[in-house]
Structures are given as structure tokens and as C-alpha cells.
Amino acid sequence: MLIASSLINNFKNINNLNFTWGPGINFISGPNGSGKTNLLEALNILSGWGTFRSRARDCVNWSSDNGRAYLAAEVKHNTNLAKGVDIDLYKDLFGAGNNYKITAQISSQINLKLDDKKISSTDLRLIIPSIAFQPQDINLIEGSPAVRRLFIDKLCALYFPPYAKRLAEFKTIARHRAALLRQGRSVNVTDLPFANLGGYVMEARRIVLNQLRGNFENLLKFNKLKAVNFKFCLVPEIDINNNLQCNEYLLNLLHDANYINRERGAMRILAGPSHDDLKILVNDRAANDALSRGQKRRLVLYLIIAAGYLISSKLRTRPVLLFDDLAAELDNKNLKICAEALLNTGWQIFITGTEDLLPEFEKNIYAMA
């Protein structure tokens, strides 16, 4: 996958910007406030992930004549069609060497098109898989369990096409169950759908994490990093290969008298996907306690690269990586190690920074005013 060019019009503080991109590292330089992060956010939207944090209508430049922002990208897709894409709908658009155009019209919502045909964000994510890395992503180590669940959920949405829909359905039934608990009413009617949908989510997360773990270990060996006893797993730990699937685990728990009493007393859900957490250990210590800030950023970056390999093997296409301010809190030595790891992937990578801290690496350089 290669983003060949992009056009940004009336998006946040970018009035009109058109860049032709190259393979490998694309380094976007400029002073703070010049729109570097906004450019990455535009590419994030064009790959189906939406805005970083803003509401759609807040992305429109205040001087826009029609109250809209417009984004476009020319994309080269030179590998086989990713699994899960609607082949009948897009069969004339894909194949070796095909180029096509992705557009986004933004007003109160985001409307996506692929070669003038409407496309869902779910399908678009399978066509142009991307992963974004921002400075606050160090919260994968330091932040709440919700941050780590979101990271795994994004990977699951790419790895299992039905995942995003199933997760949304689970959240709906979980809200219904939580409301019944607050009202002191019976929740029996929600037991089976909660267990089935919740079990699907939990099982998908654990399958993806097992794949991610293998890619991460291979990445460490390939880059000849100093050996550490590194472990990560989703808790609670459930052996999904031991004749007990996650939906059975949840259903048994929901029918347990002790759990029923505790849930009624707390008047809130005490089990299921919303209680999953990614546990990360370094030499049997929590990574948050064992590592410095710079080491944590490097660990997160390697998790992102490992996730890219996971996506590449599943979707049979090269992912695009978006890194906002990669150099933050990394010394020159660790920055070079990370840059070498990125170059070794052979993927297209976008990096922003106020100055070029990687002068010895081959890259395409773009300046923001």
C-alpha cells in the first residue's frame, strides 16, 4: 500500500495543501502550530479511522465558504485484495498495480468515497490499513486499562472484519444490563446475548494478542535488542484452547450465585470485555515501574511495528504508519535504533518533527510553513 499524493482543503488550519509522497520515510518538518499533526490527522481520516479527538464539524476551517472540508488521496494498491472486502462491489477497482482515489467530505459528519462510490470506514480500513502513533500513546504503558483496550480493539477491527460491529452490539446490550442493575430489576434476559457477544470480543482480543506477542518477539530478535524477560497478556487470563470458550466462561460466571449477588450489590457489571486489561511486564515488573519515559516510548513504538506486521500478514498488504513527533523523549541513540527498525519494515511511514533529527537516514522531506 502506498499513498502517492494527498490534497487537503479547509481542514483545521490548513487552507490548501497538496503533497506528492514517496515510499519509505516521509518526514514532515515545521514549527509548532504549522499543521503537521493536522496533516497526519487528515491521512488518518482518509484511511478510515476518523479524527484523532475532534468532532467532525470542528475540523472545518472557519473561513471555508461552504462550511466543509475536503480531503483526497491517490493510493497505489499493488498486492492482492485484502480478506473481508466486498469483492463484488469493488472488484473493478483492485488488483496488481491498481491506482484509485479516496475522498472525504467533512461537515457535521465524514462522508467517504472510493473512486466516487460510497464506502464505509470499516471497508476503507481494510483497503488502506494504517496505524497512528501520537505522543500521548505512551499511555499504553502509563494510562488506564481503557487506553490499552482501545489499542487491541483497533487491531481486532482490522484482523476480524465483523469485530467492530460485534463490539458495538455488545456495548448496547451492556448498557441495557447496566440500566437494569441500577433499577434493581432482573438481568436474566441479557445473560445469553451478553455472554455470546462479550465472549466473541474477549476471544478475538486474545487471539490477536497471541499473534502480536509472536511478532514482537521476532522483532526483538531481528533488531538484536538486549534480551529482557518481556511478557504481556490480557487479564483475566482465559485458556480458550482448553475446551472452554470465552462465551462459556462468561455464561458460567453470570449464572454463579456468588457473582450474581456481588453484581446486584454493586449495581454494575463486574465482568466481561470492559474489565479486560493488557498486562505488560519487564523482568517480572510492571513496565510502568521498570522503564524510563524514553524506554516506554521505544516499547510502544515496537508494539506499533509488531502490530503492523500482524496487519500485513493478515490483510496481505503493507500498512501505512503515522508517527507524530517521533523524537519526543528519545535520545539520539534510541531514536536511531527506532528509525532503523522502521526502515527495515519497507513500509510507507509518515513522521513529523520540528527539525530533522535523522540526517543520516534516507527519506523524503516536506516543509510546512
Range from 254-258, 278-282, 340-344 carrying the lowest mean pLDDT: 340-344
Whether residues 153 and 113 share a domain: the answer is no
Q: How far apart, in whole angstroms, are the C-alpha atoms of residue 52 and residue 37? A: 9
The DSSP-derived string for 281-302 is EETTEEHHHHS-HHHHHHHHHH
Four-CA torsion 315, 41, 154, 176, nearest 10 degrees: -140
Structure confidence by residue, pLDDT tens digits, 153-207:
999 998 998 999 999 999 999 999 999 999 999 999 999 999 999 999 999 999 9
Give per-residue burial for 182-194: e unless 16+ CB within 10 Å, then b. eeeeebeebbebb
The DSSP-derived string for 54-109 is S-GGGGB-TT-SSS-EEEEEEEEE-SPPPTTS-HHHHTTT-STTEEEEEEEEESSS
Does residue 174 fall inside a structural domain? yes
Does residue 145 fall inside a structural domain? yes
The residue among 297, 284, 286 whose CA lies nearest residue 341 is 297
Range of the domain at 328: 2-129+317-367
Does residue 305 fall inside a structural domain? no
Does residue 294 fall inside a structural domain? no
* pLDDT of res. 178: 97
Whether residues 163 and 63 share a domain: the answer is no
Does residue 18 fall inside a structural domain? yes
Instruction: Give the bridge partners for 241, in sequence order.
Output: none
Q: What is the 3-state secondary structure (H, E, C) of 215-226?
A: HHHHHHHHCCCC
Q: Which H helix or E strand runs over 304?
A: helix 293-315
* pLDDT of res. 222: 62
Structure confidence by residue, pLDDT tens digits, 241-255:
555 588 999 999 999
Whether residues 123 and 148 share a domain: the answer is no
The pTM of this model reads 0.83
261: cell is 449477588
Whether residues 236 and 256 share a domain: the answer is yes
